[in-house]
A and B are shown apart, each in its own frame.
Chain A
Amino acid sequence: MTTTTKTSDGNSLPQLTAKDFKGPVDPDWCPGCGDFGVLNSLQRASSELGLRPHQILTVSGIGCSSNFPGYFNSFGMHTLHGRSLAVATGAKLANHELNVIVTGGDGDGYGIGGNHFTHTARRNVDLTYLVMNNQIYGLTTGQVSPTSREGMLTKSTPFGSIEPPLNPITSAIMNGATYIARGYSGDIRHLTDIIKGAIEHRGFSIVDIFSPCTTFNRDNDHPFFKQRVKKLEDEGHDTTDWQLACEKAMEWGDTIYTGLFMQIEGRKTLGDRERVLREGGPLAHRPLGLNDKQVEKIISGMM
């Protein structure tokens, strides 16, 4: 399939390849890390959607997977631990023409950044959030994470974790996200399609991605997922039924579902609801300062 992109002055540009979205730096992830599959999938998705690097802003926090923006050819912000969604919301509201893609891990997004996860979903900010969920803290060399299973042995839980894990899918549904999917980095074709859907979706889309840590997580490795993952599409899942979506998301035994759990189309995004953005283009490009009429109105209100 070949598509072309048109520039604002009407010229057609050839579609970029996945390789064109390769960043200037080679990833320093461990050999076999699940994050390679996610990077590969986003590069393919960006190519297939006909995007150009300058139209994308990737925003990350801190963690192995948060090194992502350096490995992907687009504008990028490698910010603070847990704060990617807050930074991304600010960037999106200041320039709503940007495709803002947020990348990070389970500790970054569901642990330290949990408050922003809740409220970004509630606001339905038009962001694409890719969470590389490896159920472990990797960059700090192997401690329990918010998605680690109960009983898991890690360096900070040497006698087994006594806490149950958080379910990102049901959390996202309850908090008001409007595109909620799960992917597996070992199935790049499937993940690419899910990510394309997430980028095309207007509203807050989250893709929780099984991205196994080959160094510190012996429990949830590729064989674990390969044996269990089943695609929701293969079962004719109804993506408009939130209760069914929650039931499928909570299944965690011999079968673990991937694919699109739920999508709400047409719900207004935060930017759609914001009167200030209705006309005049991106805030970032508007003239600065006050005009005479605005000045007069302000001063008369103070006299």
Chain B
Amino acid sequence: MSSRNFDFVLAIGGEAGQGIATPGDILARIFIRRGLHLYTYNAYQSIIRGGHILLFMRVSDQQVDNHGDKLDLLLCLNQDTMDRHLSLMGAGSTVVYNADTITPGDVPDGVQLCPLPVSELTESRNRLIQNTIAVGTVMALMGQDFEALEESLSLRFNRMGQEVVDENVAAARAGYDYANENLMIKTDQVPAGPKPLAVWAGNEAVAMGGAAAGVKFYAAYPMSPSTGVLHWMAQHARDLGIMVRQIEDEIGVANMVIGAAHAGARSMCATSGGGFALMTEAVGAAGMMEIPVVFIDVQRAGPSTGVPTKTEQGDLWQALGASQGDFQKFIVAPTSALDAYKTMPELFNLTDKYQCPGMVLIDLLIGEGRATFDPDEVDMQPEINRGALLTEAAQQNGYKRYENTESGISPRAIAGLEGYVHVVATDEHDEDSTLLSDEFTDPTKRRMMVEKRDRKMSTVLDDVSAPSLEGPADADVTLIGWGSTWGVIKEAVELLQEQGVRANHLPFKWIVPFHADEVTEIVNSAKKTIMIENNFSGQFYRYMRSETGLSVDGHIRKYDGEPFAPHHIVEGVLEHLARETDIFVPTEILKV
């Protein structure tokens, strides 16, 4: 992208158990302390030890929202990485590897090979020390000072004692000096940003968003790729006064958060598609009992167990169809980690106001991807509004939990509040909670209650932002996406502009409620429309069609488990414009 002075992608490949995360963390810390922006995507397999991992880390002086189209530097921790990825490297790129154990194959033109004689550079028998040597080499290749690396190593290893810190600093120094003496060093200096940045994974962002929104009860059953939410919550539970429980199954999780929410605590849970399937009966229960709770689905490639460590936007219809019958709900698909953070307090205020469940659809890409953020731009004390919630005891009788009000919103008393004794029920019930089956099933009352619950949503479109175009209004082609594709489509629009194609972007975040009128106007005004989704069947396309009757001119879909890179979309758009396809599926496969 032309406005970037610095845009560098490095990848670290090895097998699970080889400690890829550590050099990744060390490098990330150096970059963010320098004020550089970062985006990481970790391609891995569902094997704890031995599976192949490739960690992409894109670093730039500008905000980065995807892992990019190129690799500038590949750090191979094993032969497998070399065999799989050497062919991906382009002219001007660099490959660093342990020469004692790894041999390169056919080297593409212009690729600099950096073999490290690890056994000559260290006397340590720690098999992970090769990683630290390599980090030293990478820092030298990027023209960085050694001091920042030394500081980052100290921070990383000081818990393990000074001896470990010293061993790693010495190893890094050896790799750094070796590179300076023997390898071709990039002359263009890595820039520095105006101030240090912070980094989070999307899972941490939604957990933090929940905490900032006042979540007091969090329950979960571990499931990839959602487990990071549980880990963050568990780690911070005591400091923040949040009850965090790991429960026997997702059915228990969902019902437990409903119980906690009814007692008055803001409550949420996170899972992935399979766990969400188990939760769905409870989603409807929250709808029927009018209890606000938030369910987070960090989507992975399905169906069924699917591809547990791969990303997909495949659960949209599962969320739309979660639980039987008609009930009121929110479904929101945040577009980035930062957006996921900001969405949580907003969603809690909405579910409290409208007394219904809220579902958040992120995916492995957002949830496990890491991105930098500026802490000064993140509101950690957002407005909290609990709607028509009764919390003060009163001497009274005749409280009707489901009073048939004009707005449809019935003031909600928390359990235990004197003067407001009432029952909530998953059976259809009257205003005073009497089960309609106890009244020999009353069609008039049933109709009244269905309409009451529906009526409360009559103002909801005013409370959430309508989708809007990003980029020139008179573009030749409009790219439509939802949720996590925002970052990659945004960059594709810029790349297309460089190639002379005027494109704009219509990203969707709110799924339910849906601004059908605004969407119809935008789509009908577009010259050409292409829908981009990380799934097989065009789930959002079919949903948009069901809500508006609108169609689109073409599709770009990916369902191989890997996320889109900007060039996939650029290629797809160009093929559509050349009228070569209706549905473009990028098939370039990263061998991970």
Contacts and interface: CB of A to CB of B under 8 A. Distances in A.
Interface residues of A, number: 59
Contacts of B380: 290, 295, 298-299
A285 to B, nearest CB: 7
B-side binding surface: helix, strand, loop or mixed?
mixed
B409 interface: no
Interface residues of B, number: 75
B245 to A, nearest CB: 7
B423 A289 contact: no
B248 A115 contact: yes
A131 to B, nearest CB: 18
Nearest to B33: A303
B156 to A, nearest CB: 14
Contacts of B423: 23, 69-70, 75-78
A76 B260 CA distance: 13
Interface stretch (A33-41, A86-94, A239-247): A86-94
Contacts of A298: 208, 211, 236, 380
Contact of B381 (A69, A86, A92, A295): A295
Contacts of B242: 276
Interface in A128-185: none
Interface centre among A23, A69, A87, by most chain B C-beta atoms within 10 angstroms, is A87
Interface in B356-393: 375, 380-382, 384, 391, 393
Interface stretch (A50-58, A186-194, A203-211, A229-237): A50-58
Contacts of B267: 90, 94
Q: Pick the most buried of B212, B239, B249, B256: most chain A CB atoms within 10 A of its CB.
A: B256
B187 to A, nearest CB: 30
A75 B416 contact: yes
Contacts of A75: 415-416, 421-423
B198 A302 contact: yes
A28 interface: yes
Given A116-B252, A283-B217, A303-B198, A77 B243 contact: no
A303 to B, nearest CB: 5
Interface string A71-90: 00111111110010011111
A22 to B, nearest CB: 12
Interface stretch (B108-116, B433-441, B551-559): B433-441
A284 B263 contact: yes
A251 interface: no
B289 interface: yes
Nearest to B198: A302
Contacts of A83: 251-252, 255, 282, 285
A289 B212 contact: yes
Interface string A271-303: 000111100101111101110001101110011
Contact of B255 (A57, A80, A289): A80
Nearest to A289: B214
Nearest to B196: A303
Interface in B282-304: 282, 285, 289
Interface stretch (B9-17, B424-432, B463-471, B493-501): B424-432
A93 B260 contact: yes
A70 B208 CA distance: 39
A94 B217 contact: yes
B263 A116 contact: no
B259 A54 contact: no
B89 interface: no
A67 B384 CA distance: 36
Contacts of B265: 94-95, 283-284
Nearest to A27: B438
B420 interface: yes
B416 A57 contact: yes
A78 B435 contact: yes
B529 to A, nearest CB: 39
Contact of B264 (A62, A119, A284, A295): A284
A205 B253 CA distance: 22
B422 A90 contact: no
Interface in A87-115: 87-95, 97-98, 115
A24 interface: yes
Contacts of B258: 79, 87, 90
A90 B259 contact: yes
Contacts of A69: 423, 425
A284 B256 CA distance: 14
A118 B214 CA distance: 31
A288 B418 contact: no
Contacts of B289: 77, 79
Interface in B224-264: 236-243, 245, 247-249, 251-253, 255-264
Contact of A78 (B237, B248, B375, B425): B425
A80 B243 contact: no
Given A89-B259, A302-B198, A77 B217 contact: no
Contacts of A73: 421
Given A74-B421, A290-B240, A86 B214 contact: no
A198 interface: no
Interface in B400-417: 414-417
A59 B423 CA distance: 9
B248 A280 contact: no
Nearest to B293: A90
Interface string B434-467: 1101100000000000000000000000000000
- The CB with the most chain A CB atoms within 10 A, among B258, B281, B420, is that of B258
A26 to B, nearest CB: 8
A1 interface: no
| Residue of A52, A75, A280 most packed against chain B (CB within 10 A) | A75
B259 A283 contact: no
A282 B264 CA distance: 10
B264 A77 contact: no
Contacts of B285: 79-80, 83
Q: Which of A55, A75, A284 is most buried by chain B, counting CB atoms within 10 A of its CB?
A: A284
Contacts of A55: 416
B199 interface: yes
15 contacts: A76-B423, A78-B424, A79-B258, A83-B251, A86-B251, A88-B259, A89-B259, A90-B257, A94-B243, A94-B265, A95-B414, A116-B248, A280-B241, A288-B216, A302-B204
Given A298-B380, A303-B199, 7 more contacts: A67-B435, A87-B255, A88-B259, A92-B259, A98-B263, A115-B252, A295-B380
> Nearest 9 A-B pairs (CB), nearest first?
A288-B214, A90-B259, A284-B264, A76-B423, A94-B263, A90-B256, A87-B259, A90-B260, A86-B255
